[in-house]
Amino acid sequence: MFGRKAAELVREEYRADADKINTYNEDLVSQVLEETREHYSYIRNIVSRVSEEPSGFAGAAPKDGAAVAIHHESILRNKRCLLAYANTRAEKVRALRWQLGAVLPENVSEKLSAAERDCFKAYDKLLGEYMGTGPDGIGIDLTVDMLPPKDPYIECQVLRDAGAMLLDDKVVHLVPHTRHFIKRAEAEPLIAQGILSHIES
């Protein structure tokens, strides 16, 4: 009660590595929500008791006013902590789309809540539409060219077998440990996903 668990939730996210995503803390979130409803029922009880007294609200004792104030502030606090937690995680969920593309690996996906997974899908759709060639799209893939280009091609080593791929309009089989010069924009997502590694020239 009184914002303690809520602070715990925020602290957990604050300490987390900005590049990593923790497992969604369903348990703690629902405890904070439960507490919030408890605070609210305290308020309702006081309000309904006071309204039944002959003097009504005007004559309410300061001790009741102070209690309502404390519960009210506690609800606001819980709300802020919950939303900040949700918002920070939503930012990370969106970052996943930029880093990994439209499909999340299972070991990442399982860390998200159901709402977050849907949020990822919705964001993927929105971003895809914006970058796409439809009427609302600019027709430019913004997830590549993340660094200033030095050469149209970069040298890469294959880390794991990803089968045959269409690269630069040619079918290439990426055999582990082999090296290739690949168009930057085509190599970028494969590097981010850990299929290729970029070799320094």
Partner 1 sequence: MGASAIGADYFDLEAILAEEERVPVLFLTSVTGVGRALDPSCDDDDLAEGVKVDLPQWLTKGQLSEKRFVEVRTPKCFNERVKKDIQADPGVVNLRERSAFFYAFGRSLCRILDNNAELADFLLITFRGRYKDLLLQSHFAPDEDVQALKRIMTREEIRIFEAGRQSMQSFTQWRQRKDSIYNMAPILGKKRKR
Partner 2 sequence: MRRLHSASQKRRWCFLTDAGGQPYQKQASVTPKMVTQFSAKSGHFLPSEVEFQAEDELIDIIPNFRLDALYMIKGEFGPFRPQIPTTVPIWLAVLLKKRGKCSIQLPEWMSVDELTSVIGREQEYAAEFQPVHYHYIEISEILFDCALNDIPNSYKVRALVEDLREVRYGKIQDGLKTVDNRQSAAKLNNLSAMEVNMIRPFFTQALAKFYRLGERDVEPQSQASQRPGAAGTGPAPQQRVLRRPR
Partner 3 sequence: MDDFDLGGPSEQDDEADVASTSDGELLKRAWRDEKAAPEILPYQEELLERVKEQVEFQEELIQDSQSDPNLETIVTLYKLDVDRIKFLMRSYLRTRLEKIEKHAIHIAGGDSVKRLSPKELNYLEKFCDMLDQYMDRAVLSELPATYNKLLHQYESEGKEPDMVPRPDLDTFVFARAKEHLGLIELDERGDENPVTITEGELFIIRYRLIRGFLENGQVELV
Tell me which residues touch partner 1 (CB under 8 A).
1-3, 7, 10-11, 13-14, 19-21, 42, 46, 61-67, 69-70, 72-74, 76-77, 80-81, 83-84, 87-88, 95-96, 99-100, 105, 108, 146-148, 150, 154, 187-188, 191-194, 197-198, 200
Separation between Cα atoms, residue 2 and residue 77, nearest integer Å: 8
- In whole angstroms, the minimum distance from the beta carbon of 90 to partner 1 comes to 10
Separation between Cα atoms, residue 27 and residue 197, nearest integer Å: 39
Question: Is 71:40 a contact under the CB 8 Å cutoff?
Answer: yes
Question: At 116, which amino acid appears?
Answer: E
Answer yes or no whether residue 176 interacts with partner 3 by CB under 8 A.
no
**What's the DSSP call for residue 136?**
T
Separation between Cα atoms, residue 137 and residue 139, nearest integer Å: 6
- Of partner 2, partner 1, partner 3, none, which one does residue 5 interact with (CB within 5 to 8 Å by kind)? partner 2
Please identify which residue in 1, 66, 102, 140 interacts with partner 3, judged by CB under 8 A: 140
- In whole angstroms, the minimum distance from the beta carbon of 122 to partner 3 comes to 5
Answer yes or no whether residue 104 interacts with partner 3 by CB under 8 A.
no
Helices (H) and strands (E) in the chain, counts: 6, 5
The 3-state DSSP class for residue 144 equals coil
What burial letters (b/e) apply to 74-89, b meaning 16+ CB within 10 Å?
bbebbeebbeebbeeb
Compose the 104-143 pattern: x for residues touching partner 2 by CB under 8 A, - for all others.
Answer: ----------------------------------------
Identify which range of 52-60, 100-108, 135-143, 191-199 contacts partner 3 by CB under 8 A: 135-143
Separation between Cα atoms, residue 76 and residue 89, nearest integer Å: 20
Separation between Cα atoms, residue 89 and residue 83, nearest integer Å: 10
Q: Which residues bind partner 3 (CB under 8 A)?
A: 29, 33, 36-37, 40, 72, 75-76, 79-80, 82-83, 86-87, 90, 94, 113, 115-116, 118-119, 122-123, 126, 129-130, 136-138, 140-142, 144-145, 148-149, 151-153, 184
